[in-house]
A and B are shown apart, each in its own frame.
Chain A
Amino acid sequence: STSSVLPAEKDEPTASTDSTAKVASKSQGSTAETPKQKLLDIIGGMKVEVSYRKKLQQLKAHEIKKRATNKLEDQDSEGSMLRKAKEDIQRGKPLNPELVEAASAVASSLPLNKKQTESELLAQLRRHEETTDKQKKGGIINIRNVISEMSIKRQSRAERGVRISSRISLEMDEDGQRIRPGRFAPQSFDSRSLKVGKRLNIFTKVSTETENALKTVSSPTIWDLEFAKEIAAITAQPPRNGFEEMIQWTKEGILWEFPVDNEAGMEDDAEFHEHIFLEKHLKDFPKQGPIRHFMELVICGLSKNPYLSVKQKVEHIEWFQKYFDEKKEFLQEI
Chain B
Amino acid sequence: MAASVLGWALRAARQVLPSACTRQVRSYYVDWRMLRDVKRRKLAYEYADERLRINAIRKNTILPKELQEVADKEIAALPRDSCPVRIRNRCVLTSRPRGVKRRWRLSRIVFRHFADHAQMSGIQRAMW
Contact = CB atoms under 8 A, between A and B. Distances in A.
Given A316-B53, A320-B53, A233 B14 contact: yes
Given A227-B6, A236-B21, A294 B62 contact: yes
A234 B10 contact: yes
A291 B3 CA distance: 65
Interface residues of B, number: 22
Interface stretch (B63-71, B94-102, B118-126): B63-71
B73 to A, nearest CB: 12
Contacts of A290: 62-64
B7 A238 contact: no
Interface string B41-72: 00000000110010011001011101100100
A207 to B, nearest CB: 31
A331 B3 contact: no
- Secondary structure call for the A interface: helix
B64 A334 contact: yes
A319 B22 CA distance: 46
B20 interface: yes
- Secondary structure call for the B interface: helix
B6 A327 contact: no
Nearest to B21: A238
B20 A233 contact: yes
A34 B7 CA distance: 72
B27 interface: no
Contact of A227 (B3, B21, B22, B57): B3
A330 B70 contact: yes
Nearest to A290: B62
A237 B66 contact: no
A251 to B, nearest CB: 12
Given A223-B7, A330-B70, A234 B62 contact: no
B7 A226 contact: yes
Contact of B66 (A238, A239, A330): A330
Interface of A: 223-224, 226-227, 230, 233-234, 236-239, 248, 290-291, 293-294, 297-298, 315-316, 319-320, 323, 327, 330-331, 334
8 contacts: A223-B3, A237-B20, A238-B20, A290-B63, A298-B56, A319-B53, A320-B53, A334-B66
The list of the 5 closest CB pairs from A to B, nearest first, reads: A230-B10, A226-B7, A290-B62, A223-B3, A227-B3
